Amino acid sequence: MTSPRIIFAGTPDFALASLTALVEAGRVPVAVLTQPDRPAGRGKKLTASPVKRYAEAQGIPVMQPVTLRDDAVAAALAALQPDLMVVAAYGLILPQNVLDIPTHGCLNVHASALPRWRGAAPIQAAILAGDASTGVSLMAMTAGLDCGPVFHIERLAIGADESAGELHDRLAELGGAALVEHLDSILGGELRATEQDESQTTYAPKIEKSDAAIDWSRPAADLARCVRAYNPFPGAYFFSGETRIKAWRATAVDGAAEPGTVLRCDQEGVVVACGYGALRLDELQLPGKRRAAAREFAGQLDLSGTRLG
């Protein structure tokens, strides 16, 4: 098979893993689509996406349209005469006229075992739900939200203490490997896509910072999953008075008292009563300080005997 003409569309680190896998396999895209540079960091300096930085370093032409609902953008993509567009965490909607441009359509690398967890935050959703496993799906894109037929699903188990950041990195690598492994079979027609079972569909909405607020009335096991799911973004948090404290690692343990009551604060952790059981906070962060293990945090702030909001 002659080398296919591929356009790659992606923006964050998850997408970078698939782009890197393509390039290292000798499937260098003819162009890369990525979102426009955004303000980032405390200085709000315009910053290129990880995909853009890598593509430019590889000498791959980069396009950064604000929207794909622009006839001039569609014409520029059509002029590239792509065989396939590979999309991974791009962040912009592909209208039907763009989906129709590549000869073999558009292939999405999605971070879940579809149809479970369609949507913007499938990794976090899988952890929050207590799923034992998840995966990466290679999906033929249609106009709907992650509802196209699926060529292949690569599955993996979710670690008992795994954070969303850690799971993200494993899924990103898995997605790149699966993409390269099955690309020829998809283009050659040997691997056929299967329609999703709509009765098994679940949705993973975009995460808001307010979602990460810890509600002590909930069971400790649920809150331990929340801490994992919101690590590294946006970071689970709670308040002690006016002080906002982030929780990065936590474990459900035995304990009982009015929810929010700090049962213990020492070098072993901050133990807080929940609606059922208690949550031991193992790694925390005060405003303006770095993350601290329980031993270090105990020397920064003593929460013993307090009631958290």
Give me 21's structure tokens.
């896998």
Amino acid of residue 226: C
Reported as a pLDDT band with limits 50, 70 and 90, residue 198 is very high
| Model confidence at 205: pLDDT above 70 | yes
CATH H-level, domain 6-204: superfamily: Formyl transferase, N-terminal domain (3.40.50.170)
Mean pLDDT rounded to a whole number for the chain: 96
| pLDDT at residue 2, rounded to an integer | 76
| Model confidence at 78: pLDDT above 80 | yes
- How big is the CA angle at 47 (ends 45 and 51), to the nearest 5 degrees? 175
| pLDDT at residue 309, rounded to an integer | 78
User: Scanning the structure block, which residue is given the tokens 């982030």?
Assistant: 246
Separation in Å, CA 129 to CA 169, 220, 282? 19, 14, 22
CA atoms within 13 A on the CB side of 276: 4
The predicted-structure confidence for 226-236, as pLDDT tens digits, reads as follows 999 999 999 99
How far does the chain reach from its first CA to its final CA, in angstroms?
Answer: 62
Reported as a pLDDT band with limits 50, 70 and 90, residue 146 is very high
Give me 191's structure tokens.
């691997």
- Calculate the CA dihedral of residues 298, 300, 306, 309 and round it to 10 degrees: -110
- 212-300: CATH topology is Methionyl-tRNA Fmet Formyltransferase; Chain A, domain 2 (3.10.25)
d(CA 207, CA 215): 16
Q: Spell out the residues 6+ positions from residue 59 whose beta carbon is closer than 8 angstroms to its own.
A: none
Amino acid of residue 185: S
d(CA 92, CA 228): 27
Mark out the alpha helices in the chain (DSSP H runs).
13-24, 50-57, 71-79, 96-99, 122-128, 164-188, 220-229, 294-300
CA atoms within 13 A on the CB side of 173: 6
| Model confidence at 1: pLDDT above 70 | no
The predicted-structure confidence for 279-299, as pLDDT tens digits, reads as follows 999 999 999 999 999 889 988
Same fold, 6-204 and 212-300: no
Residue 138: other Cβ atoms inside 10 A: 24
Residue spans of the domains in the chain: they are 6-204, 212-300
The predicted-structure confidence for 9-53, as pLDDT tens digits, reads as follows 999 999 999 999 999 999 999 999 999 999 887 778 899 999 999
Amino acid of residue 70: D
Rounded percentage of the chain residues whose pLDDT exceeds 70: 100
Give me 60's structure tokens.
């791959």
Q: Which of 244, 251, 254 is nearest to 285 (CA)?
A: 244
The predicted-structure confidence for 155-180, as pLDDT tens digits, reads as follows 999 999 999 999 999 999 999 999 99
